[in-house]
Amino acid sequence: MKTNPKRSGFTKEMIAILGKDYGESSEIMKQVEDLLKEKAASLYSDLIYTLTHLRFSENQARNHWEKVLQHKLEMGKRLDRNVGVRVALLDYFTNTHHKIENPKIIELDVFEKAMLSAVTDGLTGLYNHRFFQDRLEEEVERCVRYAGTLSLLMLDLDNFKMYNDTNGHIAGDVLLVEVSKLIRKTVRKVDTVARYGGEEFAVVLPSTSKRGALIIARRIVARIADHHFPNQIVMPGGRVTISCGVATFPEDAKDKAALVDMADKMLYKAKRNGKNQALGVED
């Protein structure tokens, strides 16, 4: 299946390719350009600043980015090989626009951080709410097109305010990070794990039935309940737990918004029924 670039995200594979000095494919560059236009109002200026330490307004940065892409093509023709974005950008500001006198090679991990910041949560490293919405919409559209199935998990830490208020906000942040790691380790690589907001998480499970989703959800619930977290003694029962709601498309909902709403309803049903559990629509 060919992915629609406007519904894609900055995948780690894409970012790794962008960091190479030998150049990127036209498909990758098209995805990056669409994301730059669509995702973040300040991404042009932030990206250029990260790579060059030159600060421009967003309009100026956007204009420079377009010229860098043109410069990339021209360099490729002159050198008879594809040239990477990082190389073209530094050459542009050194030899064409004369803004840099002593260019430095930007390390790949710095480049990756700049690109990932547009789609990831700064604390947990999970995908952010905006990316989650795009990814879920993409999966719903795929299911409609190919008569497929997907499931959505909405998870919320039980009694998190109690943990946060008793142990402090730093301890609360550490807890969120540890829980994020456990969720990520429990699901498949193809699944999308996002921080939905606060202590709430979302997991998009492509090509997954309700039965399969409940198995994964209950595995997450059990793994967190069995894990030893710092200062968990202050929590009810002396442990950290999580509740989860499960909804499946198109069985439980006919569009993205309805799917999120249904998973949310199941989450709060799990909360009302005693917490530390995962419930689907028929439970």
Known catalytic residues are 199
Given its phi and psi angles, is residue 81 left (phi above 0), alpha (psi -120 to 50 degrees) or beta? Answer: beta
Residue 55 vs residues 47, 59, 94, 138: alpha-carbon distances, Å:
10, 12, 15, 34
Q: Which residues contact 89 (CB under 8 A, 6 or more apart)?
A: 48, 51, 52, 68
Contact, 153 vs 213, CB < 8 A? Answer: yes
| Cis geometry, peptide bond prior to residue 206 (ω within 30 degrees of 0) | no
DSSP code of residue 152: E
Q: DSSP for 197-217, please give it.
A: ETTEEEEEEET--HHHHHHHH
Amino acid identity for residue 91 in this structure: D
Q: Which of 203, 179, 177, 164 lies closest to 124 in space, CA to CA? A: 177
Q: Which of 191, 127, 137, 117 lies closest to 4 in space, CA to CA? A: 137
